[in-house]
Amino acid sequence: MNKEKIGGLQLFYLMAGYVLGTAIILGLGLDSKQDAWIFITIGMLSSLILMAVYTQLASYYPGDSLVQMLPKIIGKYLSYPVIVLYILHFTYSAARAGRELGDLIVTTILSETPIIVVIGSFMLLIIYCLRGGVETLGRMAEIIFPVYIFSLILIWVLLFSVDQFDIKNLTPILGRGVKPLLKQTFPVAVNFPFGETIVIMMLFPFLKKQQYARRIGMSILLVGGILLTINSIMMISVLGPEIYSHDIFTLLSATQMVSVADFLERFDALVILMMVAGVFFKVGAFLFGAAVGISQLFKLKQTRSVLLGLGSIVPPLSLITASSYVEHLEFGFKVYVPYVHTLLQIIMPILFLGIAFIRKKMGHI
């Protein structure tokens, strides 16, 4: 299964798009208001430590995915429930991203279409791509990501034409002090979206040049974090801190205000296309990670049948976990991100690295 390989630049495109994913549409640090850009910057810089943990584990066990290295770190039997937890995490996270896309599409352009149809159709596209293997996923990222970035920069340029644009909306900086901001930042800013890059540990074995894993990982976080920071500055400048803190789709709301000479309007369609591309990166990586994990856990020779199974599970799962989009967001940011993400993306990887370090010192690696 590991015969397929992905280039370093392809992995960068895929995971940078993954970091931007839904985060750039939904907005980050809403409770921080005008300090949201500081919230994101702190999260980005802190997550570099996490990426160092992930890549160090990969260097201790070259050629192994997270699922393959866990039995070597904590033992065969203890690793089984932990592996299942990560597979469930990847699957549920894919369902959450699909739900966010479905709600955006149904709210904006397909209001008469059942949300399950939107999510199901998108899932068919994802599964069709993933069945081609990691190389197909990498090539898709190579095509989509440059267009995605061009569209994002175009929207930023257009936002300068909005009458309400005012850089003074970013003041007062740290108006409520440093302590309240830090309380809001940890662990949420680290966990979402930066900590979710733990899925890259399922992709490292497919990387052509393993020696560049850390460089690629750090670049993904830095580029993704800088783009998210710039985006939050633009959103706050256009919408103001109060609207920014309460709006569900911040980028969409800001883009709808663009009107060039009363002629060029309706750029919100571009945002929706960006959301589709962003969720493609995110769901694609999560589902691929889950499928590879299941295949390796049960020693299957291929992932195609596993992907079909996951593809049929994710659409209904995205709907049954929350009765409304507001409930979906509330559960995510008040329960799943601060607790489940913290356990699986911060605490346990650091623990794994500590054990692996001791085993290496004892000559067991």
The tens-digit pLDDT sequence of the chain (365 residues) is 556 789 999 999 999 999 998 888 777 888 888 999 999 999 999 999 999 999 999 999 998 999 999 999 999 899 999 999 999 999 999 999 999 999 888 888 888 899 999 999 999 999 999 988 889 999 999 999 999 999 999 999 989 888 888 999 998 888 888 888 888 788 888 999 999 999 999 999 999 988 899 999 999 999 999 999 999 999 999 999 998 888 878 888 888 888 776 666 777 788 888 888 989 999 999 999 999 999 999 999 888 889 999 999 999 999 998 888 889 888 988 899 999 999 999 999 999 999 999 998 887 76
Hunting for tokens 């369609």 — which residue is that? 269
Any domain includes 46: yes
Any domain includes 360: no
Q: What is the domain-level CATH number for residue 53?
A: 1.10.4160.10
| Structural domain of 336 | 8-351
The set of residues, in sequence order, having a beta carbon less than 8 Å from that of 50 and lying 6+ positions away, is 190, 194, 195, 197, 198, 345, 346, 349
- Distance of alpha carbon 230 from alpha carbon 279, whole angstroms: 20
- Distance of alpha carbon 84 from alpha carbon 94, whole angstroms: 15
Give the pLDDT confidence score for residue 338 in this predicted structure: 92
- Distance of alpha carbon 101 from alpha carbon 275, whole angstroms: 7
CA 184 to chain centre: 19
Any domain includes 285: yes
Any domain includes 357: no
Give the pLDDT confidence score for residue 262 in this predicted structure: 67
Q: Are 228 and 20 in contact (CB under 8 A)?
A: yes
Give the pLDDT confidence score for residue 182 in this predicted structure: 86
Any domain includes 26: yes
- Distance of alpha carbon 174 from alpha carbon 233, whole angstroms: 14
Any domain includes 1: no
Number of domains in the chain: 1
Give the pLDDT confidence score for residue 365 in this predicted structure: 67
Instruction: Find the helix packing angle between 76-108 and 268-297, rounded to 10°.
Output: 160
Any domain includes 3: no
Any domain includes 339: yes
Give the pLDDT confidence score for residue 263 in this predicted structure: 64
The CA-CA-CA angle for residues 292, 149, 268, to 5°, reads: 105
DSSP-based three-state secondary structure for 173: coil
